[in-house]
Structure 1
Amino acid sequence: MAEPSDRPMVNPLVTGVLVVALVYFARAIFMPLAFSLFVIALVWPIQAALQKRVARPLALLITLLFTITVIVVVGSAIVWGFSKLAQWLFYNSDRLQTIYANWATWLEGHGIAVAGAIEEHFNVTWLVGVTQGLIGRLNSTAGLTLLACIFVMLGLLEADDFRNRLCLASAQPYGELLLQISGEIGSKVRRFMIIRSIASVFTGVVVWMFALVAGLELATAWGAMAFALNYIPFIGPLTATIFPTLFAIAQSGSWQLALVVFIGLNVIQFVIGSYLEPSLAGASLAISPFAVVFAVFFWSFMWGLPGAFIGVPILIVVVTYCAHEPSKRWIAALLSGGQRARALSRGD
């Protein structure tokens, strides 16, 4: 029989596993719900400002139209970029087949036996199909977007009433605490997305200019994809680097252009991600890089590409909540980075 001291360690573990399983298997509901709360935190200041000038239904309509427009612009940038890539691959299929056959011959001449298998099984139609399949998966998020928009509409309609209920005496002391934590989370999430948007626009412009200078075709498509994918930490910039590098090989048939593209894009991502964003974010949004990578891959496993996008905002929610709970402040300190972690350890 287990000792009584062992029981408290078993129950939280079992509870955690059950919660993770619930979130995974019920992702059709929890994923749109999480996205709707994320969007509400972003657009609520717009809704509140408009309600002071126009009727509440009109303010809600304007806020929803603005939200949908932003989502469509970002999503269309990715879909359009991959569509242009798929068209280019289709129209240059014979050229690509020749390039890969030459590479296979070169590898075989240097004693790499797998080259023959590559030459035999490589099919440009398969490559185009992979690209089109990726486009299809991006388009499949339309259902998620529709359900999330419904949740956003209902949430914005009830936001004022919910805030008033939290201020009732019967909801204290948790109501005021929840209001304080929610306000801080909303402020941090908005700041994170503003900084991410600035970095994404800057990344897209710089990648577009670099592609033009390097002589890489589809420069506008690469810039649009870099802009949109930069919203997904780690996975997005990695994808926006690998695809142009492989495309450089397909375009030129040589490794020199691919090396230039690979190094150039990595330098761009490193400078923007390591210097521009941290300088704009400041200490209040400082989060451990390991925690960011883990959050992106964990929520990507749970919810796919949408999970990778929302992983860091969820991490911000967890860190902010734990920072307000004395018994859980150590978790916020571990997940934070730099000066923020030291401030939490002092109880600031």
Structure 2
Amino acid sequence: MTGGKVHQGALIVIATIIAVAALSVASSVFAPVAFALFIIALVWPLQRTLKGFLPGLAALAVSVVVMIVAFVGFGSLIVWAFGRVGRWIVSDAARFQTFYDQVTLWLEGHGVAVAGAWSEAFSVGWVLRIAQTITGRLNSTMSFWLVVFVYVVLGLLEVDDFHGKLRRMRNRGAGDLLLRGFTATGTKIRRYMLVRTLMSVVTGLLVWVFARAVGLQLAEEWGFIAFSLNYIPFIGPLVATVFPTVFAMTQFGSWHAVIAVFACLNLIQFVVGSYVEPRVAGNALAISPVTVLFSVFFWSYLWGVFGAFIGVPITIALLTFCSLHPSSQWLAEIFGEPRQGEAVPTR
């Protein structure tokens, strides 16, 4: 009996390693599918509501148009915010150069040689490689979204048929489990995105108000950057805190002011992420912070920025399906929903 359990455990470990390797190697195949399923879970309720008073194709067309408008609007605002910050860096390059010289002088005075290492790393070839990398990423991003769009349209057309196939499966137990799993997963993902959006709005507004109050330049841009990056747990709020802090160094020229800006921005992130968000989300979306952090790093390692964005929804889906089967309920109990009355931060 013991040998059989060890053999079964070894098979599970091997299968997991193979699955992870396949997800990494074939990321161009699996990542668009996962992102498309994520979008379908968000868009399907709108299409289902529209089908109550519109023909099926018309409901699909309206849903797709709403989805495109939302993505284009969000993407345009991101380009606007980061573009404004980039232009401000270029126009104020002299101040950044002065700050860089001061930091370099201080580090070299404490025995840290920066100039030599920087001159070795920085070259025309390095700039060209960076430009080629950015161009390649842009091209791959456009291809990624095109594939996702095709999957979403085809998926929205097949939702009703897929639902019927699950109900007509000969293995009624498996069909019922899959149906309940997909339904519960879609509900949790929509609630997760609703809570995340509300908390992102609150975080963005607080950052904007704080930046305006202390006179930090580009207050509106910092607010929207904090709003957009808040969709990536842990990493996003950290980046949204570091960026304006670096700009505060060049603008105020006082370490006391810089420390105060950094502390206040982190306080905003902490209060919203560790106090407000868990109480808004409730127990239905409570996940161990370690699990959330692992999800972000694991899926970002496999699929880059897209993986970091949907890492937590994928984990929610996996834990939801685990909770529906007796042999895997222990995973959901350890990493997923706590017992009633226990609130665990989701960030």
TM-score (norm 2): 0.89
Going from structure 1 to structure 2, the CA distance change for 1:260 and 1:55 (only over 3 Å counts) comes to same
Partner of 2:267: 267
TM-score (norm 1): 0.89
> Where do 1:1-348 residues align within 5 Å?
6-109=6-109, 111-114=110-113, 117=116, 137=137, 140-168=140-168, 170-339=170-339
Task: Give the drift of 1:171.
Answer: 4.7
Cα distance in structure 1, aligned partners of 2:188 and 2:133 = 35
Amino acid across the alignment from 1:234: F
What's the CA shift string for 1:220-261, capped at 9, x where partnerless? 111111111111111111110111111211223332232122
Going from structure 1 to structure 2, the CA distance change for 1:136 and 1:256 (only over 3 Å counts) comes to farther
Going from structure 1 to structure 2, the CA distance change for 1:258 and 1:25 (only over 3 Å counts) comes to same
Cα distance in structure 1, aligned partners of 2:114 and 2:268 = 33
Going from structure 1 to structure 2, the CA distance change for 1:134 and 1:212 (only over 3 Å counts) comes to farther
Cα distance in structure 1, aligned partners of 2:24 and 2:119 = 40
Task: Give the drift of 1:103.
Answer: 3.0
Unmatched segments (≥5 aa) in structure 1: 343-348
**Which runs of at least 4 in structure 1 moved beyond 4 Å after TM superposition?**
115-123, 129-140
Task: Give the drift of 1:78.
Answer: 2.8
Task: Give the drift of 1:263.
Answer: 0.6
Task: Give the drift of 1:22.
Answer: 0.6
Tell me, yes or no, if the aligned pair for 2:284 and 2:337 is still in contact at 8 Å: no
SS of aligned partner of 1:170: coil
Cα-Cα RMSD: 2.8
Cα distance in structure 1, aligned partners of 2:138 and 2:195 = 24
* Residue-pair matches, total: 340
SS of aligned partner of 2:170: helix
**37-46 vs 163-172, which deviates more?**
163-172
Cα distance in structure 1, aligned partners of 2:242 and 2:272 = 17
Tell me, yes or no, if the aligned pair for 1:77 and 1:225 is still in contact at 8 Å: no
Unmatched segments (≥5 aa) in structure 2: 343-347
Cα distance in structure 2, aligned partners of 1:139 and 1:190 = 30
Going from structure 1 to structure 2, the CA distance change for 1:26 and 1:319 (only over 3 Å counts) comes to same
Tell me, yes or no, if the aligned pair for 1:101 and 1:119 is still in contact at 8 Å: no
SS of aligned partner of 2:216: coil
Task: Give the drift of 1:25.
Answer: 0.8
Tell me, yes or no, if the aligned pair for 1:104 and 1:118 is still in contact at 8 Å: no
Tell me, yes or no, if the aligned pair for 1:85 and 1:218 is still in contact at 8 Å: yes
Going from structure 1 to structure 2, the CA distance change for 1:318 and 1:86 (only over 3 Å counts) comes to same
* Larger relative contact order, structure 1 or 2 (CA cutoff 8 Å, min sep 6): 2
SS of aligned partner of 2:275: helix
**267-276 vs 256-265, which deviates more?**
256-265
